[in-house]
Structure 1
Amino acid sequence: MSIRVVPANEASCEELDLIFGTRGGAAECRCQRYRLVRGEAFGNTPVEHRHDRLREQTSCGDPGAANTSGLIAYLDDEPAGWCAVAPRPDYEGLVRNSNQTAWRGRKENRADPSIWAVTCVYTRGGHRRQGVAAALVNATIDFARTRGATRLEAYPITDDNATWGEEHPGRLTTYLDAGFEVVHRPSKRRAVVAVEF
């Protein structure tokens, strides 16, 4: 089996939709929880709106797009996974909310555009446990570095009994295996990991 990872704009919008599917948490969220702007509530933002936003953010189907957010993984040429990676300030819900676990005990400029963040790693059903998540996390490093990031961070769960809602940033071991280092432990269930460039 071979895994290939590309910037999301190099995938078609239909392939992006296939990864997220039509049922379940991923289909509903469309990686918009941290993308909501001040005054928006997740429960009051229609799924169709979240769907359209993800397409716009990724520039899916436009290989020549100057800006794209995220990565797509293919397992034997079948769309298999998604990873949200972008400048940290693009995730307004993450940087704005001081109640986020990731900020406990940290004092820094949350709006620094040179710091990038990985907020979601998702593998489509039927393609799990085959290295897709690991390939996506590994690819985030060059993706962020070549776009000018000075640091790339993520917020993985550390509890093996996590629910899907908690698990969306990925597992700690996946990041450690890719070369990230733990830089903060805001809780027993969450770590902040980073790679400095």
Structure 2
Amino acid sequence: MTTTRLTVSPLTSQTWDDFETVMGTNGGARGCWCMHWRLSIDEWMEGKGDGNKAHMRKLATGSPSPGVVGYLETEPIAWCAFGNRADYPRMQRSPLLKPIDDEPVTSLSCLLIKKGHRREGLLPELIRAVCDYLTGTAEIRTLEAYPVDPLGGRQAGADNAMTGIASAFRTVGFHEVARPRRDRPVMRYSLR
């Protein structure tokens, strides 16, 4: 799928090396490998690093894909994880990110732009490319995101920006449906 400059491809065994390039040697942050929401805290801590990487590698061989790798021309520079809300048990239990209603949603749980390409305005492009990609999926109607909304001119840090930045989602057309905390909106986008 194409936006202005970014294309995306599903994470599969064929795109695994590109995913590793984006995640870097630390697996994104602290050995996460984008398993933060998919595992209990005990499982995540136990698997930190190689264990979490092995979990994600197994997901990459299944269907549906757990996310997409973003490319700037042919260079892998971004990642977006998504899945049915039920795929994220830790999110289901979170007082901050628990479901706000019974509407079935596909959660955009993690977005990452590779170092060296941050602050280039690529996050809205990545979100738009993910929306375009998921539009072709018949069973998905509503996307839900849980970005940080930095207040008072503060910048989001690596530990809380993994879910994206609210302004980038607004640019693409997501709208706020709840705000469980001052700096954490729940935002949705209809694919229909």
TM bucket (normalised to shorter chain) is: 0.7 to 0.9
1:51-90 equivalences under 5 Å are 51-59=53-61, 66-90=63-87
The answer (yes or no) to whether the contact 1:116–1:144 under 8 Å persists in 2 is no
SS at match of 1:9: coil
More helix by share: 1
1:97-112 equivalences under 5 Å are 97-99=93-95, 101-103=96-98, 106=100, 108-109=101-102
Structure 2 segments unaligned to the other structure (5+ residues): none
Two-structure CA RMSD over aligned residues (Å): 2.3
The answer (yes or no) to whether the contact 1:86–1:144 under 8 Å persists in 2 is no
Distance between the aligned counterparts of 2:27 and 2:134, measured in 1?
29
The answer (yes or no) to whether the contact 2:142–2:188 under 8 Å persists in 1 is yes
Q: 2:146 aligns with which of 146, 151, 155?
A: 155
Matched letter for residue 152 of structure 1: L
Distance between the aligned counterparts of 1:144 and 1:16, measured in 2?
19
Matched, 1:136 2:138: no
SS at match of 1:127: coil
Measured against aligned partners, the alpha-carbon deviations of 1:33-63 in whole angstroms (never above 9, x if no partner) come to 10005x844222231111011122233xxxx
Matched letter for residue 98 of structure 2: W
Cα deviation, residue 5, structure 1: 1.6
Residues 21 and 27 (structure 1), Cα distance of their counterparts in 2 relative to 1, 3 Å cut: farther
SS at match of 1:168: helix
Q: Identity of aligned pairs, percent? A: 26
Cα deviation, residue 32, structure 1: 0.6
SS at match of 1:29: coil
Residues 42 and 137 (structure 1), Cα distance of their counterparts in 2 relative to 1, 3 Å cut: same
Structure 1 segments unaligned to the other structure (5+ residues): 60-64
Measured against aligned partners, the alpha-carbon deviations of 1:46-105 in whole angstroms (never above 9, x if no partner) come to 31111011122233xxxxx6421111111131110101111111111111x142x1238x
Cα deviation, residue 149, structure 1: 1.2
Residues 55 and 135 (structure 1), Cα distance of their counterparts in 2 relative to 1, 3 Å cut: farther
Q: 1:30 aligns with which of 30, 33, 36?
A: 33
Distance between the aligned counterparts of 2:39 and 2:72, measured in 1?
31
Cα deviation, residue 28, structure 1: 1.1
Partner of 1:3: 6
Runs of 4 or more, structure 1, over 6 Å off, are none
TM-score by length of 2: 0.85
TM-score by length of 1: 0.83
The answer (yes or no) to whether the contact 1:82–1:121 under 8 Å persists in 2 is yes
Matched letter for residue 185 of structure 2: A
Q: 1:126 aligns with which of 113, 116, 124?
A: 116
Partner of 1:62: none
Partner of 1:16: 19
